[in-house]
Amino acid sequence: MDPHYSEESINSFFINQIKDYAIFATDTKGIITAWNIGAERLKGYTEKEIVGQFYGILHPYEYQQAGVPEQELDIALEKGSYDVEAWRKRKDDSLFWATVTLTPIFSADGQHVGYTKITGDISKQKELQDKLAERQQGALEHKNKELQKINHDLDNFVYTASHDLRSPIANIEALTKLLKEELTESDCLSTETDEILQRVLTSISRFKSTIEDLTVVSRLQNDVSEGLTDEIINIKEVYEDIIADLGYPTELNVCFIQTDFKVYQLRFSKKNLRSILYNLISNAIKFQSPERDCIIKIHTQLEEPYVVLSVEDNGVGIDELHHEHLFTMFKRFHEHVEGTGIGLFMVKRIVENAGGKIEVESKKGIGTEFKIYFKEDM
C-alpha cells in the first residue's frame, strides 16, 4: 500500500488526537477512508460506521440534491484546495455552521490519490456575527427613521416658512406702493427719495420671487405625499405644448431643435413631466453659446428598466467643478443669466421621488447632456 494513502498515515498519533477539528481522508471519488476522533465528536459517526461511505452524507440534504459535494471535489482538484463556510449535517440530522478546507492529495509521483478534509464547528462565531449584524441593522433602521423624520420636518418647515412669509412681504409691498402714491400726490417725492423707494420695491420683488420658489418646492413635496396621479402621457404632445409656450419659432428661431421620440408614451404625472422637460429645454436655450448656432437634441429611448429622456445641447457647458452642486437649491453658476437656481433642484426631486434618476454630462465650451431615467413599470 502506498504509504501516503494508508490509513496509518492520517490516523497517525498526532492527527487522531485532535478533538476540535474533524479530519478525514477520502479516495479520489470522495469515499471516506480515514476518520479521526475530532470527526467522531463533531459529526457523531464512529469510524466503523462512516468509512466506505460517500462523504456527501455529511452535507445537508439540500446541498446533496444540488450536487454540492461533487462540485466541491472538482473545484478542490482544479484549484489546489477549496475553502468554504457553510452548513454541515451531523448523524442526528442537526446542522452546524462549519469552516471547511478540502485539499487534494497527490502521491510522490504526482498522481491524484484522494482528498483530506478539515472541518471546524464555528456555530458560536456565526451566532455572534449574526447578532452583531442584527444590531447594526437595528441601528441602521433607527437612523433611517430619524432621517425620514428630519426630512419631513424640513419639508414642513419650508412649507410653513414660505406661506407665513408671503403675507408680511405682500403687506410691505402694498404699503410701499401706497406710500409712493401718497408722496406723489402731496408733491413730496424728490428724485432722491423716488430712487430709494424704487430700490425698496426691487428688493421686495426679489424677496417675493424667492418665496415663490420655496412655495413651488413645498408644493412639490405635498404632491408627493398626496400622490399626484400618474397617467399615460404622449411625450410629443407635452413637448409641443412647451415649445408653443416658449414662443417658438418667433423668439427662438436661433435654436434648432431635433427630436426623436423612440418611446412616445410614458406613465407619469403630466404636470411633473412638463416641469422636467420645460426646465431642461429652457436651460438649453438660456445657456447657448454665442460662438455657434444653438442645436438642441431631444430624444427618448428604452434602457431596461428605464425610459431615458435626453436633452443635449451645444451650449456653453458646465465646468466640471460645479457638477456636484448642479442640483443644489438656489445655486447659480452664471451671473449674466436670469434665474433663481431652483429648476434643476426641482427636476431632480421630481425624478427621484418617482424612483428614477438624473445624470449629467457636460464639457465647458462644448455642451451639456441631461439624461432623465424614468422607472418603467408599465
Which residues form the interface with other proteins (CB under 8 A)?
Answer: 162-163, 166-167, 170-171, 173-175, 178, 181, 184-185, 215
Q: Is 303 helix (H, G, I), strand (E, B) or coil?
A: strand
Shortest gap between Cβ of 206 and other proteins (angstroms)?
A: 17
| Shortest Å distance, C-beta 189 to other proteins | 11
User: CB count, 10 Å around CB of 339?
Assistant: 15
Give the nearest distance from C-beta 357 to other proteins in angstroms: 30
Q: 214: which 3 cell numbers?
A: 420655496
Closer to other proteins by Cβ: residue 213 or 312: 213
- Residue (of 159, 151, 149, 157) closest to 218 by Cα position: 159
Give min distance, CB of 225 to other proteins, in A: 13
Closer residue to other proteins in complex, CB, 212/352: 212
Angle at 91 between CA 90 and CA 95, to 5 degrees: 25
Is residue 316 within 8 A of residue 287, CB to CB? The reply is yes
CB closer to other proteins out of 166 and 357:
166
Q: Whole-number minimum distance, CB 195 to other proteins, in Å?
A: 18
CA dist 357 → 51, 64, 307, 331 (Å)? 60, 44, 11, 20
Q: Which of 303, 310, 281 is nearest to 294 (CA)?
A: 281
CB of 162 to other proteins, least distance (A): 8
All three cell numbers of 258: 431635433
The x, y and z cell numbers of residue 310, run together, are 435626453
- For CA atoms 204, 209, 213, 216, the dihedral sign is positive
Nearest CB to other proteins, comparing residues 138 and 168: 168
What is the CB neighbour count within 10 angstroms for residue 54? 15
User: Of 174 and 337, which has the nearer Cβ to other proteins?
Assistant: 174
Least gap, CB of 227 to other proteins (angstroms): 14
> To the nearest whole angstrom, how small is the minimum distance from the Cβ of residue 265 to other proteins?
28
| SS3 of residue 372 by DSSP | strand
Give, in order, the Cα–Cα distances in Å from 230 to each of 224, 267, 269, 276, 344: 11, 6, 4, 15, 21
Nearer to other proteins, 155 or 173 (CB): 173
Q: Tell me how far, at minimum, the Cβ of 179 lies from other proteins, in Å.
A: 10
Question: Which residue lies nearer to other proteins by CB, 65 or 167?
Answer: 167
How far is the first Cα of the chain from the last one, in angstroms, to the nearest whole number? 70
- In DSSP notation, 332-358 reads ---TTS---S-HHHHHHHHHHHTT-EE
> What is the spatial distance between Cα 99 and Cα 133, in angstroms, rounded to a whole number?
19
β-strand pairing of 112-121 with 21-26: antiparallel
Q: Which is nearer to other proteins, 17 or 184 (CB)?
A: 184
Instruction: Output 221 or 288, the one with its CB closest to other proteins.
Output: 221
